[in-house]
Structure 1
């Protein structure tokens, strides 16, 4: 998966691969280039969707995420290209400073 060049991350933003199990987040940005983004969009992984890591596969396998209620498995490489924010921050409940 190719990462887009020159991506700037805000302090409150992080990559989906770094989110602990059962923490709900909102997708802010997809940092992949070209044709690699289409399979994500087809699975419903679009900016503004809600994601929640549910379980990790053993021995570095994919992680299962709940994406707006549907279970989707993503490799760490792919999850590392998805910039997310806490669902509370995205809703304006928490201050991101």
Structure 2
């Protein structure tokens, strides 16, 4: 009963929040890139390499943030129940806690 309850109340909720957050961040990044390009084109200027690099860094950061949250959740809820080795179990469940503390 508890395994079933935490799966839907914790895992599905947390993964849903991660997907929504990543989606909103991607939409924000692409909208900001398009807006800045429209402003630059309207002014007859070119986008600097530094500005392009900042935009790409934001997109990479957003992608890896969502990926790490999903990896931590999967290691705790999907992989850990199937592991019998105590050391591997400790590492898998610690990864979940580490991801959440490192993300903030």
Q: TM-score, normalised by structure 2?
A: 0.24
Larger radius of gyration: 2
The structure with higher relative contact order (CA 8 Å, sep 6+) is 1
Larger helix fraction of residues: 2
Q: TM-score, normalised by structure 1?
A: 0.25
Larger strand fraction of residues: 1
